[in-house]
Structure 1
Amino acid sequence: MKALRAACVALGLLLPGIAAAQSSPVVVELYTSQGCSSCPPADALLHQLAAREDVLPLALHVDYWDYIGWKDQFADPSHAKRQKAYAHVAGRKMIYTPQMIVMGQEDVVGVDTMKLADLITQHRANLVPVFLTAQRTGNTVVLDLVSDLSGPQDLVVQLVRYAPVRDISITRGELAGKTMSYANVVADWQILGSWDGFSTTQMSFDVTGEDKAAIVVQQAGLGAVMAAVRID
């Protein structure tokens, strides 16, 4: 009973409106697969996180479970490559699903709502040293980057495109016969450029299509995420 109560409390912390939003959302990357029978609870959790303004959850579908019998329709080999790079940086020898990476730093195994809630709360309480402002006019976005860092750093400015909701009926593999709904499915993740994280900088780029967009500024080499901003 105590364990159940604790889980419910943790889940409550993941719901919108529990705490005030910060200027930069907490970035949560979920590595998942349509061929993974243990992934649906994590996929469902991402829908809850997507309702929050202070969290930017992103679902990166991987392809290394395709051999089981179902080819993930949203998978991209670059997602598994990114996950492997995170593992290498952290000294982990294995990659798996579902896995959540919070702000490019901590990993959450499976659906550990208690740990995830604690990490989100912790990162929301941290001072954000990088300030991002994105103004969109038509297809053109002007991004202003301002820093409160004490010295230069090697940062990368990344543009992420994602679909808010994608549904699919799975006919083979471990989830055969199920219709699944996925939140914030990443369709593209590209580097716009580098930034020293010290001088005030402005970037201009185009965003087309129906997918949502966000900017993620991260330490080079898949280090800590410094800040993020949604593009409306």
Structure 2
Amino acid sequence: MKVLYINAGIEAQPRIKTGVYAGRFLGVAGLAFIGCFSLSSNGQAQQNSNRDAVVELYTSQGCKSCPAADEILAEAADDPNILALSFNVNYWDYLGWRDTLATQENTDRQQAYRDAFTKMVYTPQMIINGRVQMNGGDATAITEQLEGTKLQVPIAIQRSEDGRLSIEIATGEKPPFPVHVLIFYIRDSVSIPITKGENAGKSVTYRNTVADIDTIGLWEGKAVTFELPASELDRKDVTGFAVILQEFHEKNSLGPILGAALFRE
């Protein structure tokens, strides 16, 4: 396990980027807020991909402890009840290998969890439902935390005949904190040959690796539908997207996840 930023006040810490976790909606071109919830309707192919749990792995190609955790995440990604997401981070790039999948948004997201958990960031870190964290290589602890877990708010993602995507969020208990509707654009499976650093000579396969993150709205306990244009999946570097409802607490720290869904072509 590699640890960074043990001292929460260290000046060298990356700060949360405005526009990613500070409440500003990045927006999607052509996004339509419909404001109603209905399950399947005429002309739509049902793509209900609701998930009972979310498993996030913060990983790095430059961390020798991470490949074992990447394999655990890959197994979770095959479970139809789990939304498993891989977030490659960039703070180990200085050790000799630049992570080819890492983004600053992924690194910022892990930092936004810091106040809720250990006051530090490390790899491999696994976070379940935004509520608990653990070493991403501890399969036993991960299995125990997932037993009996079920997110409270159902989400359905559907695609109409003309290609438009509808994100339908059910009603639920009014949250005590702002709840953001987040979209994570993902690549289903990417194999990376690593030639330098701690994992030199290895080829590591990453599942559901996050390429980009957007905030498209707020959920206030009432049933709502967001509609995205067909062009959202035209990007060649992604194979689908996940939707997560998540509480945002003081200073934009991340709180519990209330609902999640996955859409693939």
TM-score range, shorter chain: 0.7 to 0.9
User: 1:37-75 CA distances to partner (integer Å, 9 max, x unpaired)?
Assistant: 010100111111111101111000000110110000000
CA shift, 1:86, in A, is 0.3
SS in 1 for 2:255: coil
Match of 1:77 among 100, 104, 108: 104
The question of whether the paired residues in 2 share the 8 Å contact of 1:129 and 1:147 is answered with no
Residue identity in the other structure for 2:164: T
- Equivalent of 1:114 in 129, 140, 143: 140
Matched, 1:161 2:188: no
The yes-or-no answer on 1:104 pairing with 2:136 is no
TM-score, L = length of structure 2:
0.73
C-alpha contact (below 8 Å) 1:131/1:145 kept by paired residues: yes
2-side partners of 1:44 and 1:112: how far apart?
11
In 2, Cα distance between the equivalents of 1:151 and 1:67? 41
Confirm or deny: 8 A CA contact 1:38 1:98 kept in the other structure: yes
Between 1:148-157 and 1:173-182, the stretch displaced more is 148-157
Matches within 5 A, 1:51-70: 51-70=78-97
SS of residue paired to 2:110: helix
Alignment of 1:1-232 (within 5 A): 23-90=50-117, 92-124=118-150, 128-137=151-160, 138-149=162-173, 153-196=177-220, 198-206=221-229, 207-208=232-233, 209=235, 210-221=238-249, 222-232=254-264
2:12 aligned residue: none
The alpha-carbon distance between structure 1 residues 144 and 153, as it changes in their structure 2 partners (threshold 3 A), is farther
- Corresponding residue SS for 1:85: helix
Contact preservation (8 Å) 2:191, 2:205: yes
Relative to the length of structure 1, the TM-score reads 0.83
Cα distance, 1:122 vs structure 2: 3.3
Match of 1:15 in 2: none
For the residues of structure 1 that align with 2:166 and 2:244, how far apart are their CA atoms?
A: 15
Give the percent of matched residue pairs that are identical in Structure 1 and Structure 2. Answer: 33
Query: How many Å separate the matches in 1 of 2:187 and 2:113?
Result: 23
TM superposition shift of 1:139: 4.0
Residue 142 of structure 1: how far off its partner (Å): 1.1
The runs of 5 or more residues in structure 2 that have no matched partner are 1-48
CA contact (8 A) 1:32 1:62 kept: yes
Name the CA distance, whole Å, in 2 between partners of 1:141 and 1:23. Answer: 15
> For 2:190 and 2:228, how far apart are their aligned partners in 1?
26
Give every structure 1 segment of 4 or more consecutive aligned residues whose post-TM-superposition deviation is greater than 4 Å: 150-153
Q: How big is the alpha-carbon RMSD for the aligned residues of Structure 1 and Structure 2?
A: 1.8
CA distance in 1, matches of 2:182, 2:149: 20
In 1, Cα distance between the equivalents of 2:125 and 2:255?
A: 17
Aligned residues: 206
Q: Which structure's residues are more often helix, by fraction?
A: 1
Alignment gaps of 5+ in structure 1? 1-21
